[in-house]
Amino acid sequence: MKKPELLVTPKSVDHIKALIQMGADAFVIGEQQFGLRLAGEFSVSDVEAAAKLIHEAGKKVYVAVNAIFHNDRLDALESYLKEMQLIGVDALLFGDPAVVVAVRELEITIPLHWNPETIATNWFQANYWNERGAKRAVLARELSIDEVIEIKEHAKPEIEVQVHGMTCMFQSKRSLLGNYFLYRDEVMEIENRKENKNMFLHDKERKNKYPIYEDVNGTHIFSPNDMCLIDELTELFEAGIDSLKFDGVLHTEAYINTVTNCYRQAIDAYFENGEEAYEDMKDELLEKIEEIQPVLRPLDTGFIFKETVY
Q: Cβ distance 118 to 125 under 8 Å?
A: no
Contact 10, 260 (CB under 8 A): no
Q: Each residue of 117-149: pLDDT tens digit?
A: 778 999 999 999 999 999 999 999 889 999 999
Scanning the chain, the segments in alpha helix (DSSP H) are: 13-22, 44-56, 74-87, 97-106, 123-131, 145-154, 176-183, 234-239, 253-273, 275-292
What's the pLDDT tens digit per position in 22-37? 999 999 999 988 988 7
Please say if the pLDDT value at position 219 is more than 90: no
Q: Which SS3 state, helix, strand or coil, does residue 292 take?
A: helix
Strand 200-203 versus strand 208-215 pairing type: antiparallel
pLDDT at position 268 is: 98
| Poorest-pLDDT segment among 2-6, 162-166, 296-300 | 296-300
Please report the pLDDT score of residue 30 as a whole number.
95
Kind and range of the H or E run holding 168: strand 168-172
Q: What is the pLDDT, as a whole number, of residue 37?
A: 76
d(CA 42, CA 146): 36
Pairing assessment for the beta strands 299-300 and 226-228 based on DSSP bridges: parallel
Question: What was the pLDDT predicted at 180?
Answer: 46
Give the pLDDT confidence score for residue 5 in this predicted structure.
98
Domains along the sequence of the chain with CATH: 5-164+227-300 (3.20.20.110), 171-221 (no CATH)
- CA–centroid distance for 278 within its chain: 24
Average pLDDT over residues 166-182: 59
Q: Sign of dihedral through CA atoms 213, 218, 224, 229?
A: negative
CA distance 9 to 29: 7
Question: Do 27 and 59 form a contact (C-beta atoms < 8 A)?
Answer: yes
Q: Which of 6-10, 132-136, 192-196 has the lowest mean pLDDT?
A: 192-196
Write the single-letter amino acid at 302: G
Q: How confident is the model at residue 172 (pLDDT cuts 50, 70, 90)?
A: low
Query: pTM for the full model?
Result: 0.85
